[in-house]
Structure 1
């Protein structure tokens, strides 16, 4: 493989940025730091508001604009590969065909479940939903208006998924898929994706934020204030715990009012809103433990490895990829998903076993150093690109 790669990164920019945006950007920065060249083809989802439903549907299924733009980029510069981070909804799978026309290999990172679930989450009405898994036409998504709570928009998504599955886009136009966890890999294989093209490469934390003290005397939640993240489970668990341990909540989202109502009843809960990443890492380092109460199939769980980097154990739902990250009673604890009583009991166990929690801190940091640093991730990424040579 050449010492210096040239990669074209393709992705949509969302209105609401999340951990996966940070993970993608960290990966791109890392490649640049190591002397490789990363160019971009980007779309902003702010443009969605300027399109009517018919225009959005056409772009979702096939964007001729993206096809032509990407093909022109590939003609002008010789790339070693294009790396599609996210094509939905405005870029569309047409970019795979542009790459094929110019004989450039394609890697697709699967940062959500969009290719096998119309809303990308496997989550509906407050619970895990696999109604569309494995269906050649994922019609239940239309019935339940899973994308944007809009049947028309969902129908456009289903049309895109159905057409490109039928004509073999995922199988014939993508050389390799990257999933962030073995759990996600198995879901895509269950849906019919070729196992030999599915590679697991986790996210990472860079630069190293350094070890914290764990002396803050509080529990911490960091994430979107939403149902799928299990915020209601967290607050219900804290009602059961009474005032045994303070809870700090970092993040924004649609359940903000639920948090404010809880604070009125439980003054030992503090909502800090959105905070800069440096402050989030400081809070993580001082926390006794981080709570990760998700109800949905997380594709990874970046917040958990950020906590590990700070030496902070994680109490997490035993569901999806997040359960893979936790070694029970070594780097944290797992509780039954959507079970506030079990979460409360796991918190009490930690409060009653301070020496064990202290030992967990060292093991959590060691887990980060062994698996989630830039060095390990760079080596994994280069090995993936080598497979395309």
Structure 2
């Protein structure tokens, strides 16, 4: 099969970039011809704001480029990951006009919320969900703390809603969790157009031993990831178990400050993936304290692959991923005391924790391998022309 993959890279590398690369590589290892069309956000630097706004809503250069690529490469399906802000929804229309079915993976909630997170001022916010215009998000400047930028995002979504871009040029949307799928249905996407497929790892790392005697957090250091709750819990734990924090982001100064006053907290910054896997595998627990509606939570299945139980906040897709008492534990999102109690329970039940390690790896092998997800991907590609 000939497949065109489309992705707009962010300024900072993140989960979408890794997924895009992993899925493309997997398809190639299975003998498919993959043509990658990518644009990086570094092109935004120095761009006139009005020009950027126009390209976000409709990038005619991309429209022409993609039609030319389709005529040359003749893909049988186009798999989109991200079009925001520079590729624009014009790319879907290019595929429609060339007769190429479109599959769009839903990595975030951009179609339903200007900042794509459903998170504002430290808490969940659904004020724009299902409402035409996203007026609350514009007024509050939810995207980049700017009313103008938020207005551009809302204009892009609303204009293309009126043009039926989401319903007539996209054949299939892919949601990584049942929670996210239902949010998009609630926001107005046709349920019949949304397919469920989990994320996956390729290649899969080998299990670790869990004998490192520490807990670990891996992710972006930002408010929606629950860093405040995590650090407050470790302050209460008082050094009962060390905590290694891997990642970077706007809350790095807060983490650095915590390393100076909270016993056992260590900040490792960004680390290569191989080193992250090694750290995960030796950890007794991975803490996943997010306070927003994660669409999936790749870090959790990375922990499962290493056989490491996950202590996760019971919110959004994370609640689906982690089965309490089997592959980890749940705690109430944002509840420091509950997180402390779950960690203390894990530390006082080493036999149960060891059983969870075995169950976590078994869960990975049953649901999140390349083989299982390749099979599901092919089902979706085959379905796309008929939706």
Shared fold per TM-score greater than 0.5 = yes
Once the two structures are superposed, residues 149-195 of structure 1 have per-residue CA deviations (whole angstroms, 9 ceiling, x without a partner) of 11111111110011111121100111000011111100000011111
Q: Is the 8 A contact 1:59 1:90 kept in 2?
A: yes
State how 1:133-282 maps to structure 2 within 5 Å: 133-282=129-278
Cα distance in 2 between the residues matched to 1:332 and 1:75 = 49
**Residues of 2 paired with 1:379 and 1:25: CA distance?**
18
CA distance in 2, matches of 1:294, 1:86: 22
Contact 2:235 2:263 in 1 (8 A): no
**Counterpart residue number, 1:346:** 342
Distance in structure 2 (CA, Å) of the matches to 1:19 and 1:191 = 24
Aligned to 2:127: 131
Superposition deviation, residue 71 in structure 1:
0.7
Check whether the contact 1:230–1:338 (CA below 8 A) recurs between aligned residues.
yes
- Runs (4 or more) in structure 1 with deviation over 6 Å come to none
Q: 1:186-220 deviations in whole A, cap 9, x for unaligned?
A: 00000111111101111101111101000000000
1:211-238 CA-partner distances (Å, limit 9, x unpaired): 1000000000001111010011100000
Map of 1:73 onto structure 2: 69
User: Are 2:16 and 2:81, in contact at CA under 8 Å, matched by a contact in 1?
Assistant: no
The equivalent position to 2:93 in structure 1, one of 97, 105, 128, is: 97
- Displacement of 1:388: 2.9
Separation in 1, partners of 2:68, 2:134: 34
Note the residue ranges of structure 2 that are not aligned, 5 or more in a row: none
What is the total number of aligned residue pairs between the two structures? 385
Residue 295 in structure 1 maps to residue 295 in structure 2? no
CA distance in 2, matches of 1:109, 1:127: 25
Q: Matched residue of 1:50: which SS?
A: coil
Q: Which residue of 2 aligns with 1:385?
A: 381
Partners of 1:136 and 1:165 within 8 A in 2: no
- The Cα shift of 1:255 comes to 0.8
Q: Quote the residue 1:325 is aligned against.
A: 321
Separation of aligned partners in 1, 2:117 and 2:224: 9
**Structure 1 equivalent of residue 16 of structure 2:** 20
Quote how far apart the aligned CAs of 1:47 are.
1.2
RMSD: 0.8
Deviation of the 1:109 alpha carbon: 0.7
Say whether the 8 Å CA contact 1:53–1:153 is kept in structure 2.
no
Q: Any gaps of 5 or more consecutive residues in structure 1?
A: none
- How many Å apart are 1:311 and its aligned residue? 0.4
